[in-house]
Amino acid sequence: MKPVGSSSAPLSSRYVVQLSDVSLSHAQLMHWIAEFNETTGRWPDRDQVQGAPMYEDDLLGDLQRWSLVAWDADECLVAMEQWVTLPVVGSVAAGVPIEAIENHQGQLSLPLNLFRERPTYLLRVRGDSMKDAGILDGDLIAVRKTDNVGEGKIIVARVDNEVTVKRLKLEADQVALMPENPSYQPIMVAPEELVVEGVFVGVIRERNRLH
């Protein structure tokens, strides 16, 4: 989705939105707007937006304050930034690459410029082994699919038919997948046994869990 307008507010008065501001609920409303535009070829009007299942005054207010949407001359809600629509990957089947999983849990739309690298999919996190990196149980992490990652990056890896999110550390003859929680031990892997599914590029969580 490409921007189709621009805000009339002076640039200096705009709130600079960060990914940490954007919750799952914001992303759900943005996806409804994006999907409406995709399926109808036009932007929704006020009645249609307010009738959306996930509509809340505060959510729309945030999107307007962040200059992500605005009402046009026809009183339709228009996207002001480029958004990217991403599949949400749920439970990961053992031994199957993430892109082949069919049990996706829908899609979400998010502002593309909030990511340092363009994400490919969103992955539901289970467990608290990365809590000190700000990745909590139940979060959605944005992942860019690539097998070209450097030391120190948080990656999504497949080891022994299990998918895990850890920080990559290179040892002499092994790869260490490091947790960000002192309650967990590193996972040591022979380089030839490690399959990198992607690199972490951001996290989304529900509003009542933001911190």
Cα(65)–Cα(170) distance, integer angstroms: 43
CATH code assigned to 85-206: 2.10.109.10
Mode of pairing for the β-strands spanning 121-124 and 83-89: parallel
* Structure confidence at residue 99 (pLDDT): 52
Catalytic annotation, pick one of 2, 166, 169, 183: 166
- Tell me what the mean pLDDT of segment 151-155 comes to: 93
Predicted confidence band of residue 2 (pLDDT cuts 50, 70, 90):
very low
Cα(14)–Cα(112) distance, integer angstroms: 18
* Structure confidence at residue 57 (pLDDT): 95
Query: Is 166 a catalytic site residue?
Result: yes
Catalytic annotation, pick one of 23, 67, 109, 129: 129
Per-residue pLDDT tens digits for 111-144? 998 898 999 999 888 888 899 999 888 888 899 9
The whole model's pTM is what? 0.81
Buried b (16+ CB within 10 A) or exposed e, 186-208: ebebeeeebebbbbbbbbbbeee
Residue 56 has pLDDT above 70, yes or no: yes
Do the first three CATH levels of 11-81 and 85-206 match, i.e. the same topology? no
Cα(91)–Cα(74) distance, integer angstroms: 43
Per-domain boundaries in the chain: 11-81, 85-206
Of the candidate CATH numbers 1.10.1070, 3.90.660, 1.20.120, 1.10.10, the domain formed by 11-81 belongs to: 1.10.10
Q: What is the DSSP string of 119-168?
A: --EEEE--SSTTGGGT--TT-EEEEE--S---TT-EEEEEETTEEEEEEE
Query: Of 2-16, 33-47, 92-106, 191-205, which has the strongest mean pLDDT?
Result: 33-47
Residue 16 has pLDDT above 90, yes or no: no
CA dihedral 120, 18, 27, 51 (to 10 degrees): -150
Q: How many CB atoms lie within 10 A of CB 21?
A: 15
